[in-house]
Structure 1
Amino acid sequence: MIQDKVAHYIKQENLLCKEDKILIALSGGADSIALLHLLLTMGYNCEAAHCNFHLRGEESNQDMAFVEALCKKNNIHLHLIHFDTTKYASQQKLSIEMAARELRYNWFSDLQKTHGYTCIAVGHHQDDSIETILLNLVRGTGINGLLGIKPKNNSIVRPLLCLTRQEIISFLTEIKQPYVTDSTNLSDDYARNKVRLNVIPQLQAINPAAKQNILATAKHLGEAASIYNRYITERITQLQTPEGVRIAELLQEDFPHALLFEILYPLGFNDSQINDILTALSGQPGKQFISSKGWRAIKDREFLVLEQIVEKEKSDTPPFTLIYEKAAYDSSFVIPRNKDIACFDADKFQPPYTIRRWRKGDKFTPFGMKGKKLVSDFLTDRKLSIAQKENQWVLCSKDKIAWIIGERTDNSFRISPSTHEIILVKVKE
């Protein structure tokens, strides 16, 4: 029996227990209708959530009405929400599929926090897992992308992964439970539908057992992935630091590309970019790469710096304040050896004082030197990373740089034997 098969799978994968408060992602489709029926029959405490994505005109509303009627008949509490999916996809620059997925799971997460659901049950089945494997293979992926859909992912559970689509249809037919056929599933406009309607039938023409063999291969790969992931996690832990990935150590690894792939692929870097980044690690510092998920990889001297791109505020407001203190000066005064404190001759260090980011072409005379030096060259000599350079601030007296803040003062403002009064400038975070 289907019910026994699902019950065994739930126990085997430790997906649910009878004390759970379960939210079912419910559409009018066969998979989620079967999921609702099976979990209710097995005695689980279930409520439902339905998204109207307004992608199929009146059909979307009919689907919603079907779900409402089903939940009312079975006395199931139902959460409903309407999404302007097309608008959201345009704003976020996502495909319709990805936009709907993001909207759906964000809402489920909000419902879980608000109502205290133990988990969210979705109706993915074996055919969905096969399609995911093939899609990942076509798009490019690592070993983890070939394992199919996981039975459990954080609070998302998938109790029907032990069933095929045909088993679900047969079950609903047997119990005379109607369901809604989504017309978009019959069109090959979407990548997943192309795989379902065109690719898999061709594979089955080559080998009728193609689907079973794909699932079996995914299971074997899952066992190999356990060993692989253990090794990868251990090595990545050694290579990654708060400053970035240690380049020299990465290049000495037996499989640097595999390690770099597992670090960068989740951040949205594709395989072609990862190959280019690996090549760049042997070159000069400064090369940058941008991922599809808004991450930046910067080849610095010792590290591959990874940072999420955040739009900088247009205002030139530093993340700190400066405190100015005036004091008398004599030969007994000891200049503080603190990078966050600068001392200036009060007669030379004149207002107005301004704080800004350094600019290309800026020059100053480093303390202890006579000639001028480009700020960019000074920061390079100091071996600052690219990210540190971008966030370097300067303090100006009138229009002249007096201090590369936290690094070096300008020699023109130095304290001398003729100094009578000084100004101490302190950084306060």
Structure 2
Amino acid sequence: MYQKVKAYIKEHGMIEAGDVVFAGVSGGGDSMAMLALLKRYQTEMPFSLCAVHVHHGIRGEEADRDELLVKETCEKWEIPFLAYHYPVPELAKKWKMGLEEAGRKVRQDGFSRAEADYFGKIEVADHQDERNGAAARRGKSRIRIALAHNENDVAETLLHNLCRGTGLKGLAAILPVRDGIVRPVLCLNKQEIVNYLIEEQIPYATDSTNLTDDYTRNKIRHQILPLLEEQVNSSAVRHMAETASLVSQAEEYLSRQGALLVKKYGENREQGIFLSEAFWREEPAVASYGVLQVFEELAGKRKDFTAAHVKSVENLLRLQVGRRINLPYGLAALRTYGGILLGERELLGMSDRNPKGDEPVSQDNPFELKIFSNEGQKIEEKTYTKWLDYDKIEQELSIRTRQPGDFLVVDEKGSRKKLNRYFIDEKIPSEERDSILLLCAGSEVLWVVGGRINENYKITPRTRRILEIQYQGGKDNHE
């Protein structure tokens, strides 16, 4: 298996002579196997290796055990070891995000601190021993961060995102190399790693949270993937990983084409980036990627921008000059003569009515929308403010009045009720029914404004993200 990993590292140019590799080591089997393989690769390729462990402050004594295991193994294998502690639950509340997202954030911070601490120690050593000219120094060595993702992680991510609803980016592979991050064991499946741990007698810890089916990804890992391999195809995981790689290539191609489209039809202005009407007459899929690039350029990140935001910007073309919408991260889009201008709200002369900017809001629209993580908050039971499970919404939302075929789901069994039947049961006068506003996804009514919401979209303990929608044309009261 070592030869397979060595060939994979060389194929993708992951590690070269003189590199400094910071390996993320949790103590689990995947990361311990990766650390052992990298240690062995050092005998053939002269590079520096340092293990980085991040303690999340979540699993108590079990997490302390994991840290001690990694520390003692590194001492035995003569690998530099750095550990960083973070109170992730407290930070998640402070940052108003989920534990998983907060965990990613502190791990990024941990690697940044590790780089500074590692090179700080090297500089001290070099100062004390000037003969140590082979020591790696910041600015003279390429920095690599090694993570222990494997083929099963790729398959789990693909299935998870596919079931929740996603675009190509959500189906794309976890790449072997990107932005200084390398994944040396991505060519291996979970069973290959387990076999290697046993054969080489490598110590590792088991995270008890990975043994339960409390989390969606664990159910995919313990139930769905094994079932697919047993009853559909024994190579299902490998085939999904290969497909994800192909999707990744397609996604990168569309991103490049979108960038070319922005370069061709876009214009940098003092207030932001202007996209001419000709931009929107190009291939829709490519144009969508171009808009996403503009979002990223203006906000410095692409996270939280969705197809719904792209569609909302495109819809401005059908409106008169002067209409505008809010976007995440304090951005906005303005319909102008000849196209659409995207930029910061203040630069476009807009007040920041929605500080988080989690969802598009029209300045002339009486609806205010926000998206935020579910942290077990008390549900806002108000007549004109409703909370919905954002991740269950698969179609574009619209605000409109009734149309033939409209329906609601009225119980946990998924029973449908025609909107007209609902109006009759609620004793709403016939002369008022055509003026009642509805939040819809196609023909499915998510909320009868001033009335009930669709049972399918209610908040549950499994809800990850919440869509809050408030109708400002009505007066809220506690129900």
The question of a shared fold, defined as TM-score above 0.5 by the shorter chain, is answered with: yes
Q: Is the 8 A contact 1:52 1:83 kept in 2?
A: yes
What CA distance in whole angstroms lies between the structure 2 residues aligned with 1:300 and 1:27?
A: 50
Contact 2:254 2:289 in 1 (8 A): no
User: Greater CA deviation, 225-234 or 60-69?
Assistant: 225-234
Instruction: Provide the residue aligned with 1:74 in structure 2.
Output: 77
Structure 1 residue aligned with 2:280: 251
Question: What are the within-5 Å matches in structure 2 for residues 348-363 of structure 1?
Answer: none
Deviations 1:389-410 (A, max 9, x none): 359xxxxxxxxxxxxxxxxxxx
- What's the counterpart of residue 297 of structure 1? 332
In the alignment, structure 1 residue 273 sits paired with structure 2 residue 309: yes
Unaligned runs of 5+ in 1: 310-385, 392-429
Name the amino acid aligned to 1:23: F
Q: What is the letter of the counterpart of residue 82 of structure 1?
A: H
Q: Are the counterparts in 1 of residues 277 and 340 from structure 2 also a CA contact under 8 Å?
A: no
In structure 2, what residue type is equivalent to 1:253? E
What residue is the counterpart of 1:389 in the other structure?
349
Segment drifting more, 268-277 vs 81-90 = 268-277
2:291 aligned partner? 260
Matched, 1:52 2:55: yes
CA contact (8 A) 2:275 2:341 kept: no
Q: Tell me the alpha carbon deviations over residues 160-191 of structure 1, each in whole angstroms, 9 at most, x when there is no partner.
A: 11111111110010011121011111123334
Residues 151 and 187 in structure 2, CA contact (< 8 A), matched pair in contact too = yes
Matches within 5 A, 1:317-328: none
The corresponding residue for 1:424 is none
Shift of 1:388: 4.3
2 CA distance for matches of 1:206 and 1:273?
38
SS at match of 1:130: helix
Within 2, Cα distance between the matches of 1:154 and 1:122? 13
Aligned to 1:228: 254
Is the contact between residue 53 and residue 82 of structure 1 (CA under 8 Å) also seen in structure 2?
A: yes
- The answer to whether residue 66 in structure 2 is matched with residue 35 in structure 1 is no
What is the distance in 1 between the residues matched to 2:12 and 2:100?
28
Total equivalences in the alignment: 312
One-letter amino acid of the structure 2 residue matched with residue 296 of structure 1: L
What is the CA distance between 1:89 and its match in structure 2?
Answer: 0.8
Distance 1:90 1:221 in 2: 35
1:233 aligned partner, one-letter code: A
Distance 1:138 1:93 in 2: 25
1:286 aligned onto 2:323 = yes
Aligned to 1:241: 267
Structure 1's 169 and 54: CA in aligned 2 closer, same or farther, altered over 3 A? same
Structure 2 residue matching 1:387: 3-state secondary structure? coil
Please say which of residues 196-205 and 75-84 is displaced more in the overlay: 196-205
Name the CA distance, whole Å, in 2 between partners of 1:249 and 1:227: 21
Q: Which whole-Å deviations, capped at 9, do the CAs of 1:258-311 have from their partners, x for residues lacking one? A: 5435544825222233323322332133331333xx2423223145444467xx
1:190 pairs with 2:215: yes
Identical pairs, percent = 30
Q: Secondary structure of 2:283's partner?
A: coil
Q: 1:303-342 CA distances to partner (integer Å, 9 max, x unpaired)?
A: 5444467xxxxxxxxxxxxxxxxxxxxxxxxxxxxxxxxx
CA–CA distance in 2 between the matches of 1:130 and 1:308? Answer: 38
From 205, 212, 221, the equivalent of 1:180 is: 205
Gaps of 5+ in 2: 120-137, 297-301, 352-479
Q: Which residue identity does 1:277 align to in structure 2?
A: V
C-alpha separation in 2, matches of 1:289 and 1:390: 9
Give the 3-state SS of the residue equivalent to 2:18 in structure 1.
Answer: coil
SS of match in other structure, 1:389: coil
Match of 1:18 in 2: 17
Q: For residues 224-254 of structure 1, give each alpha carbon's deviation from its aligned partner in whole angstroms, at most 9, with x where no partner exists.
A: 4454333222112223332324141222223
User: What is the letter of the counterpart of residue 167 of structure 1?
Assistant: E
Give the stretch that moved more between structures: 160-169 or 268-277.
Answer: 268-277
CA 306–163 in structure 1, closer or farther in 2 if over 3 Å, else same: same
Q: Deviations over 1:359-393 (max 9, x none)?
A: xxxxxxxxxxxxxxxxxxxxxxxxxxx734359xx
1:88-126 superposed Cα distances (whole Å, 9 cap, x missing partner):
111112111111011101220232255237211111111
Rounded Cα–Cα distance in structure 1 between residues aligned with 2:275 and 2:219: 42
Are the counterparts in 2 of residues 247 and 281 from structure 1 also a CA contact under 8 Å?
no
Q: Distance in 2 between matches of 1:267 and 1:34?
A: 31
Runs of 4+ residues deviating >6 angstroms: none
8 Å contact from structure 2 (residues 275, 340) kept in 1: yes
Query: What is residue 7 of structure 1 aligned with on the other side?
Result: 6
Alignment correspondent of 2:240: 214
Asked if 2 retains the 8 angstrom alpha-carbon contact of 1:52 and 1:64, the reply is yes
Distance 1:233 1:257, change over 3 A: closer
> How far apart, CA to CA, are the structure 2 residues paired with 1:239 and 1:14?
36
SS in 1 for 2:14: coil
Displacement, 1:45?
2.4
Q: Which moved more, 1:179-188 or 1:216-225?
A: 216-225
Deviations 1:126-185 (A, max 9, x none): 111222222333344433332211111212111111111111110010011121011111
Deviation of 1:78 after TM superposition, in Å, equals: 1.0
The equivalent position to 2:149 in structure 1, one of 121, 124, 145, is 124
Query: Is the CA contact (8 Å cut-off) linking 2:211 and 2:218 kept in structure 1?
Result: yes
Mapped contact 1:257–1:278 kept (Cα < 8 A):
no
Find the residue that maps to 1:300 and give its secondary structure.
strand
Partner of 1:54: helix, strand, or coil?
coil
- Residue 210 of structure 1: how far off its partner (Å): 2.1
My pick for the range that moved more, 228-237 or 299-308, is 299-308
Q: Which amino acid aligns with 1:164?
A: N
State how far apart, in whole Å, the 1-side matches of 2:334 and 2:221 are. Answer: 41
Q: CA deviation at 1:26?
A: 1.1
Deviations 1:201-241 (A, max 9, x none): 34433443321221222233344445433322211222333
User: Once the 2 structures are TM-superposed, how far is the Cα of residue 32 of structure 1 from its aligned partner?
Assistant: 0.9
Q: Quick one: which amino acid aligns to residue 19 of structure 1?
A: G
Task: State the SS of the aligned residue for 1:281.
Answer: helix
- Aligned counterparts of 2:248 and 2:310: Cα–Cα separation in 1: 24
What code does the residue aligned with 1:234 have? L
Aligned match of 2:362: none
Query: Radius of gyration: which is bigger?
Result: 1
